[in-house]
Structures are given as C-alpha cells and as structure tokens.
Chain A
Amino acid sequence: MSVLVVSEQAGGAWHGMSFETIAAGAEAAAALGCPLQVAVLGSGVAGLAAEAAAKRVSEVVVIDDPALAAYTPDGFAAAVRQAVEQLNPTLVLFPHTYQVRDFAPKLTAGLGKAFLSDAVGIAVDDGKLVFVRRLFQGKLNADVTPAGDAPYFASIQSGVFRADALPDGGAPAPVRNLDVVIDPAQIRTRPEAPFQEAKGAVDLTAAEIIVSVGRGIKDPENIPLAVELAQALGGELAASRPICDNGWLPLERQVGSSGQTVSPNLYLALGISGAIQHVVGMKGAKTIVAINKDEGAPIFEIADYGIVADLFEVVPALIAALKE
C-alpha cells in the first residue's frame, strides 16, 4: 500500500506542477497512513531523481529508458503501467498537464479503471478516497468516488496544492531503478521536436494593468470598447481563449494555460466566466475585478471586486469616469 506520484519532466527540467502533485501525494499518504513514492520517468533522469529524493518522500523510483527520451503516449502508458504492476500502489497521482491528459486515460482504460481527472481536492472518508472535481465549467463542485478496488488514479489541477508546502527530508530518500520493458516497435506515433510560433510583439507578462475580454463581449464590433478602457487605464488588452479562437483578437493576447501567464497589479475581467484554463493564467494578479452578468460565474470566486451587471452599462461609465 502506497501513494505513487508520477512526476513530469521534459529534457531534464521539471514540470512546475510535479512538486505540487508530490505535495498532494504527501497529504494523501498521511491521510491513508501509507508511504509516498515518487516516480521519475525519462532518459538520463538520475539527477532529477536525486532532487526528488531530497524531499520528504519515502522512496523515489526511476524508470530510465532511451524509449522515454521523447514523450509518446504508447511509451509512457506502457512504462507507468509496468510501474503500477510492480509497486501495487493504492493511489496513483499525476499532475493534470497536457501530457498526462494525453496518456493517463489510455493507461487507466487498459486497466479497466476510472481516471479522476483534474481533481481539486482529495479526502479520505470512512477509509474511502473521495475526490473533488469541478463540473459544468467550474460552476459546480462534485465529490466523486472511484468504484472497485485499488489502485485508484487521479490527476491534480494546477495551483491547488503548494509545492513549497513540501518540506525537505532529512537524509535523502532511497532511489530505486525499476526494470521495465518498452518495445520501440509498440510506439506508433513519431513525435518531432516541440517549437514555438513566431513570438508576437505583445508581452502581457510585463503589463501592470490588464483589461481582458471573454465571451460576454458578444461581438467583434464591441472589442473597441475594451480597447478604450485599456487605454484609459494605461493597460494592455488581453482575452480568454474563445475570443482568440474566433479570431476577434490575435492569439498573442490570450491569457491562460495555452496562452500567457500574467500577474499584473490589476486584472479587469470583462464578460469572462472564469474557466480553469483561463484562471490558471491570471490568478496571480494582485487585484482582480470581474464584471459579468452571471452571478454564478466562477470568476467571482477569485475576484476581489465583483460587479454583477451588463458590461455594456458599466464599461462606458468607467471610461467616462476615467476621462473626467
């Protein structure tokens, strides 16, 4: 019985969510009263394994294989499956990254198990694991229990657990290499090197004030209203994903998991519902203002100031007041 955290790295560098997930695993292991194991996967990852072993964990297991040098869903699902079969954990936790979304459901389906993806909480109730998931685009929470016997599988949303809550251990934890067999012939996809599109001129990360628009702006003809407010405040204009998907603003102005991550002094969210993909990109803002017609919009959970109203009534009034 153990909690196994499957960490993520690329090219010898940690994914930032790895230690958040190890922190989640530490809480779960304490609640279950069992050891915490951390798996490090890749090719040439001994250095990272040593870093993980410096934390207060029970054991670090290493799956080091040339077939894992580049990420493929076939290779990673096979590797983690063998680790699970050898270690027989009670609970397997992943960071809810794009990579995990790509292979973890394959792994769990192969085992006939549920995958409690994108969890924002873990509790143990009467000996049973209960996960908190967000439904209906974050408008409602659900307590969810997996059926059947262990192992159980879940991924942890970004920013729920704090990486700095994870203390360093005393002596380094033991590091063990796992023997897995990954047949390169079973890897059916051929990945090429990751690349960035030509970088836009807009660096939102440097902005002190950001005015950001979401679906509530309704029509591309209304974008100039937001531009005018941004100018009156001396800030930059940004947007949530649907606005860029529609081509109403260029992708380089997108804030969120697939766009830029910003932490301005002031973030004004106009007609943004607050889907998690957006929130992870802006929740570090010092002051957050949300203007939205829907009082149930999740953006109000993280807003310092909220106005439940039609943005087309409030924004022109703001512009007028700023110009006075």
Chain B
Amino acid sequence: MNIFVCLKQVGARDSALRIAVDRKWVEDEDLNFEMNEPDAFALEEGLRLKEKHGGEVVAVSAGPARAASTIREALAKGADRGILIEDDRFAQADALCIARALAAAVGREAHDLVLTGLQSDDFGFGQTGVIMAELLNLPHATIVMQVQAEDGGLRVKRELEAGWFQNVSMPLPALLTIQSGINKVRYATLMGIKRARKKPLVTHTAGELGIDMAASQTVRRLYLPHKTKQTQFITGSGKEAAAALLEKLKFEARAL
C-alpha cells in the first residue's frame, strides 16, 4: 500500500502567542514549532497499516523551510521518505491553498491511501483532507477511529456526534482524516533518528509544482476574544485561593 501522510508544522500548544504588529498573525519568533498533534495520529495509523499490509509511507508537508524538521521527525518514526513543498507563504496559507500544494505533490505519484489529521492546531479549518479528496478525485471519510483493509478497499469506523459511530466502506485509492486518539503514537528511537538522516527528503518549490498561491480567504485582524462571562479571579496562595473559592461557592454562587 502506497500511503501518503500529510503533516503540518504548527506553533507548539504551549507557545506564548503575541499578536504581530500588522495584527494579521502572531510573532513567529516567539513560537516553538512541532508536528500538528492530530497529524501525529495520522502518521501513526499510516505506519501501522504499512506494518500490516506492506508498502511505503511518504510524509508530505507544505510549509516554509523549517517544516523539514517535522518531516525528519516522521522519517525517524518510520516513514520511508519525505516531500516538502516549500514556500514561506504556506505558514499563513488557507486550507484550499495548502490542499492544492499537497494534492499536486501526491497526485504526481501512485497513491493507494492518503491520510491527514482532523484539523490543525493553528488555523483549525478541519478541511485540508476533504479538499484534497475532491482535488484528487478520491472517495473519503472523516473523523476516522478505525481502519480495516478488506477486499481491495477499506472499511472504516467514523465517529459521529454524541457517542455515535458508523462504519463506511469504500474502494481504494481513498483519503481518510484521522481522529485524535485512534491509536497510541510511538516515539522516535535513537536508531530511528539516525536512520532518518539517510532517508530521502525531496524539496519542491511551490513554483515548480505550479501551485496557485492566491488566498481564498484573508485574515484582516487578529485580537483577543471578548469574554462572555465576567470571571471573578481569585488570587493568593493555594490555601488562600482554595478557602476563598469555597466561600464564594457556598455563599455567593450557592453551588455547594
């Protein structure tokens, strides 16, 4: 099975977020970068499918040059090779633009299965995989909790809302967006990290692949959300705060 796993490099969840001077993005130099967490589950699922059914896992990312480190991480975990579509503009690009780039890279090669995470931790569009399915003319399923290969196709368990699930079958090639928590993600071993240095990582520029970089949606302005409730903040040492909170819960909110 030729499996392509799409990865995004995003600012780490615990990074300090400072709105940039132009108010259109955050200050990049404040961020530590990491593999988008939902994508890590997609990578793990790809590696498990390869271990079971054979084939190859290719890690693909559209991003600035720094995104190569996320592809290397995937190679260290067991992906066979990597493809980076490099352009600084991908850092703030919308889902349609990123999906066009990823689909262009995947579409050049024989592919049986394309996997993405559910959504990104930065923009949170939750669209890249589904757009790719349309651009590559593949059947797809989203929010997938289990993948079984059967009869030249797939049977997957989709998560629906409020504790409901559904099984869906489809032929290959296909695209799946993977729900976080579907598996337990492996760590890279030292040996894996060493091996990753010798694995092929090809870089294309967006220009080489002829990617349309036009934005389909534009951030006008970033700002802190307005609060919907007036939060009373309780300060002091742990003990003081605990006592003050219980006092308020008993006599003010009457919640205890």
**Interface, chain A (partner B; CB < 8 A):** 73-74, 77, 97-98, 101-106, 108-110, 112-118, 130, 133-148, 188-197, 209, 233, 241-242, 244-247, 257-261, 265-266, 286-290, 294, 296, 298, 300-310, 313-314, 316-318, 320-322
Do B121 and A305 touch (CB < 8 A)?
no
Q: Which residues of B contact A313 (CB under 8 A)?
A: 237-238
CB atoms of B126 and A101 under 8 A apart: yes
> CB-CB < 8 A to A258: which residues of B?
159, 161-163
Kindly identify, within residues 68 to 114 of chain B, every residue whose CB is under 8 Å from any CB belonging to chain A: 94-96, 99
Do A114 and B94 have beta carbons less than 8 Å apart? Answer: yes
Question: Which B residues are CB-close (under 8 A) to A105?
Answer: 95, 125-127, 130-131, 134
Contact A307 B131 (CB under 8 A): no
Contact (Cβ within 8 A) A309 B241: yes
CB of A196 within 8 A of CB of B164, answer yes
> What 17 additional pairs, Cβ within 8 angstroms, besides A106-B140, A260-B162, A307-B245?
A101-B127, A102-B140, A136-B26, A142-B219, A142-B220, A144-B220, A147-B216, A147-B217, A244-B181, A247-B184, A301-B231, A306-B232, A307-B233, A307-B235, A309-B238, A320-B239, A321-B243
Interface pairs A-B: 4 shortest CB-CB: A245-B181, A313-B238, A114-B216, A317-B242
Q: B248's closest neighbor in chain A, by CB? A: A305
> B126-169 CB contact bits vs A (8 Å, 1 = yes)?
11001101110001111100000000000000011111111111
Q: Is B13 an interface residue (CB 8 A)?
A: yes
Q: Measured between alpha carbons, how far is A144 from B223 in the docked complex, in Å?
A: 12
- B232–A190 CB distance below 8 A: no
Residues of B within 8 A of A305 (CB): 231-234, 245, 248-249, 253
B222 proximal to A (CB < 8 A): yes
Name 24 A/B residue pairs within 8 A (Cβ), A-sorted: A77-B134, A102-B141, A105-B126, A105-B127, A112-B96, A113-B216, A117-B126, A136-B124, A140-B222, A140-B223, A144-B220, A145-B220, A191-B168, A195-B164, A195-B166, A233-B256, A266-B249, A266-B255, A286-B255, A287-B249, A301-B227, A301-B229, A302-B228, A318-B242
Interface secondary structure of A, over-half rule: mixed
Residues of B within 8 A of A (CB): 11, 13-14, 17, 19, 26, 94-96, 99, 121-127, 130-131, 133-135, 139-143, 159-171, 180-181, 184, 214-229, 231-235, 237-239, 241-243, 245-246, 248-249, 253, 255-256
Given contacts A105-B127, A144-B219, A192-B166, contact A317 B17 (CB under 8 A): no
What residue in chain B is nearest A266 (Cβ atoms)? Answer: B255
Give bound CA distance, A303 to B169, whole Å: 43
Contact A189–B169 (Cβ < 8 Å): yes
A306 and B169 form a contact (CB under 8 A):
no
Nearest CB in chain A: distance from B231 CB, A = 5
Overall SS of chain B's interface? mixed
**Nearest CB in chain B to that of A120: its residue:** B225
Residues of B within 8 A of A147 (CB): 214-218
Contacts of B94 in A (CB 8 A): 114
Given contact pairs A257-B161, A266-B255, A317 touches B124 in the complex (Cβ within 8 A): no
Cβ contacts under 8 Å, B232 to chain A: 304-306
Out of B13, B19, B126, name the residue touching A137 (CB < 8 Å): B13
Contact of B11 among A74, A134, A136, A301 (CB under 8 A): A136
The residue in chain A whose Cβ has the minimal distance to the Cβ of B166 is A194
With CB as the reference atom, state the residue of chain A lying closest to B133: A106
Whether A130 contacts B166 in the complex (CB less than 8 A), given A258-B159, A306-B231, comes out as no
Q: Which B residues are in CB contact (< 8 Å) with A265?
A: 255
**Inter-chain contacts of B223 with A (CB < 8 A):** 140-143
Complex Cα–Cα for A193 and B158 (A): 11
